[in-house]
Amino acid sequence: MSSPAIQSALQQMQGLAAQAAQSSAVQPIKGQHIATAAGQGGFGSELQASIQRINRLQQAANTKSMAFQAGDPNIELNDVMVDMQKASVAFQMGLQVRNRLVTAYRDVMNMQV
């Protein structure tokens, strides 16, 4: 490598180090504990929250569908269809997660110790 190329690479590295130093002022120091909403409750609470989100999506889609069927002028058909698709996709995702969890559980239970 030539001297100008080395100097350029060094300047880039110093710039990245300066950016990292600025962002580390916001981020915790190594070894410091981070308390996040996802990390506090554990797997069970995250699973329960996901199921509740899926349920809320399905209830919102059902409510909007019933309002459209009742003739509410503020509800458009495309909004109803989008909400129903969101609820359907969320449910299918939840179903796939459940299936994979059951499969993983069975695999672990069938392991010989």
Q: What is the pLDDT of residues 62-77, one digit of tens each?
A: 999 999 999 999 999 9
Say if 24 falls within a structural domain: no
List, in order, residues 6 or more apart from 58 with CB less than 8 Å away: 87, 90, 91
How many structural domains is the chain composed of? 1
- Residue 28 DSSP class: P
Q: What is the pLDDT along the chain (113 residues), one digit of tens a residue?
A: 566 767 766 677 677 666 666 654 544 445 444 444 445 668 888 889 999 999 999 999 999 999 999 999 999 999 999 999 999 999 999 999 999 999 999 999 999 88
Say if 11 falls within a structural domain: no
Say if 96 falls within a structural domain: yes
H/E stretch holding 52:
helix 37-70
Say if 97 falls within a structural domain: yes
Q: Can you state the angle between helices 77-109 and 37-70, rounded to 10 degrees? A: 140
- Tell me if residue 75 falls in helix, strand or coil: coil
Domain residues for the domain of 94 are: 40-112
H/E stretch holding 104:
helix 77-109
- Distance in angstroms (rounded) separating the CA atoms of residues 35 and 53: 22
Say if 94 falls within a structural domain: yes
Say if 89 falls within a structural domain: yes
Say if 35 falls within a structural domain: no
To which residue do tokens 């580390």 refer? 24
Q: Which structure tokens are listed for 62?
A: 């059902």
- pLDDT at position 42 is 84
Say if 2 falls within a structural domain: no
